[in-house]
Amino acid sequence: CPSAADLRPSNGSRLCALLYTDDSPYYDQCCAGDVLEVPPNADMPFLPRGWAGRTSSLVVGTRCELTVWSQKGKQGWSRCFGA
């Protein structure tokens, strides 16, 4: 997985989080599969089509916080992740 300080897409701008579809109990095999990039100040009350229930690992950048909800539309239980 990339470090929290190294979250940058190919164009060099800053990212706040990367969500991955594949995970593994072996650290060197984590952060694989499809990737969803979350830019700074993003507000996504709904995940893009095909992402609901697929995220299995994530990395949150420094000076960022990622809040996720258990139900669509920012409903249900929430949990915050930081670097």
pTM of the model: 0.81
3-state secondary structure of 5: helix
- The domain ranges of the chain are 17-82
Q: Contacts from 21-25 at CB under 8 Å and sequence distance 24+?
A: 21/54, 21/55, 21/56, 22/56, 22/57, 23/56, 23/57
Looking at residue 55, its pLDDT comes to 86
Tell me the C-alpha distance between 73 and 1, whole Å.
29
Sequence-distant (6+) residues with CB within 8 A of 27 are 1
pLDDT in tens, 21-73: 887 777 777 788 899 999 989 998 888 888 888 888 899 998 899 999 988 88
Is beta strand 57-60 parallel, antiparallel or unpaired with respect to 17-22? Answer: antiparallel
Looking at residue 71, its pLDDT comes to 87
